[in-house]
Amino acid sequence: MVIQPKVRGFICTTAHPIGCETHVREWIDYVKKHSLSTQGPKKVFIIGASTGFGLASRIVAGFGYGAQTIGVFFEKPASDKRTASAGWYNTAAYEKAAHAEGLYAKSINGDAFSDEIKNQVMDLVKKDWKGEIDLVIYSIASPRRIHPKSQAVYSSVLKPIGQSFKNKTVDVLTGQVSMIDISEANEDEIAHTVAVMGGEDWEMWLDRLIDEKLLAPKAKTVAFTYIGPELTHAIYRNGTIGKAKEHLELSAAHIKKKLQKTVGGDALISVNKALVTQASAAIPVVPLYISLLYKVMKHKNLHEGCVEQMWRLFSDRLYGCNMHLDEKGRIRIDDWEMRDDVQQEVEKLWHEVQTDNIKKIADLDGYLDDFYHLFGFHFPHVDYQKEVNPEVKIESIRE
C-alpha cells in the first residue's frame, strides 16, 4: 500500500516502515560516530523499548557499548488495511541492524504492567542470560493500566491540581495560537494518574528481578522524569502528572535501598530535556513551549534529540566520571534547557508569540518534523508515493 500520515488530534494513526527504519538507522549512525567508554553495560533490559527515550537507550546500549538487550513494549503489528504502530517498525529495524552486527537483541510484546509479561521476561533472562542484568531502563508512557493484582483499571489525565489552568497553546498542524482552559483534577483522577504513571510498576519489576536473583553486582536502574520551567508547572510538575512523577522519585528511593542491600546497586531518576515524543505531544501548552525552546536552543547550538540525550546520559553520567546529581539525588540532563539564558529568552518569546508571528519566532517546522519522524514520515530520502508492504516481522517475536 501507499502509506501517508493520518493525524488525529495529537497522534498519527499510520506509520511508515521504511521511514521508521530510516529514523532508527539515523540514531544508530549517530551513536557509532561518537566514541564511548568501554566501561558500560553489557546486559540491558529496557521496559518501554520501542519509542522515545527507551528506544534511544537501547540503541546507545547496543551500538555504543555492544550490550545485549531485551526490550519490552506494547505495540501493534499490521493487520488488514492498517499499518503496524511506529514502535513495532522501530523494533523490527533495531533487531535487523543489531543481528546484522552480531548483537543479541530480543523483544517481548505485551502489557508490561501484567504478571504474564513479567513472567515471560524472567524466563527469557534465565534461559539466555543466566541472570546478570546490569542495567534496567524504565521508560513506560501509558494512558492506562490494569493492576496485575486487583485487576482494577486506571486511566491517567493531564490536569492541574487545586485550580483550573488557563494559558496559551498551539495547534501544531495549523499554527493557530489560542487560550486553553483546563479544569482542575479531582482526587480520583489524581489517584488514577499516580497509579498509571507513578513508580509502583517500576518497583514491581525490580522486586521480581531481585527475588529471581537476575541482577548483576552493582546493577543500576534508571527511570525518566521532567521538571521544566515555571510556565509549564501548573499543567505538568504541579499537576496530576507531577504527582505521578513525585511517586516515581519516592519509588526510586525504595528501590535503591533494596538494590544496595542485595547487589550493591543503585536506582536513579534522570531529569530529561523537553522533546517531541508521543507522550509530550499529548500535553496541552507543552508543544508551544517546545517549539519556542527549539528555536532558542538551536540558535545557541545546544539542541539535543532523544538519542543525543541518551548518549550524554550514558557516556557522561551513568558511565562517566561524575553523575553530577542535584540536591535531590537526580541526574540532570535537562541542564542545557534550564540554563538561565535559555529560559529568559524562551519566556520573552512566550509573551510575544501569537498566530501571526509563530512561524517567525518559534521553530514550528522543527517541531512538526520531529513529530512526523516519530511515525516514519518527513524523511527527505524516503519515497512516500511508493507502494510498501506494511507487514514487517520482528525477528525475535514469534506471533
Enzyme catalytic residues:
236
- In this model, does residue 345 exceed pLDDT 60? yes
Q: Is the dihedral of CA 228, 230, 233, 235 positive or negative?
A: negative
Which residues have CB under 8 Å from 371's CB, separation 6+?
Answer: 12, 172, 276, 281
Grid coordinates given for 46: 529496557
pTM over 0.85: yes
- In this model, does residue 319 exceed pLDDT 70? yes
Whether domain 7-373 has CATH 3.40.50.720: the reply is yes
Residue 37 banded pLDDT, cuts 50, 70, 90: low
pLDDT at residue 8, as a whole number: 84
Residue 399 banded pLDDT, cuts 50, 70, 90: low
Residue 398 banded pLDDT, cuts 50, 70, 90: low
The CA-based dihedral angle spanning residues 164, 167, 170, 175, taken in that order and rounded to the nearest 10 degrees: 150
- In this model, does residue 38 exceed pLDDT 90? no
C-alpha dist (Å) from residue 1 to 78, 92, 384, 394:
12, 19, 10, 20
The secondary element (H helix, E strand) that includes residue 53 is helix 52-59
pLDDT digits (tens, 9 = 90+) for 265-302: 999 999 999 998 877 777 888 899 999 999 999 999 99
The residue ranges of every structural domain in the chain are 7-373
Which stretches within 221-318 are classed as H helix?
Answer: 230-233, 240-262, 286-299, 306-312
CA–CA separation, 374 vs 369, rounded Å?
9
Residue 148 banded pLDDT, cuts 50, 70, 90: very high
Contact 321, 202 (CB under 8 A): no
Q: State the chain's mean pLDDT as an integer.
A: 94
Residue 131 banded pLDDT, cuts 50, 70, 90: confident
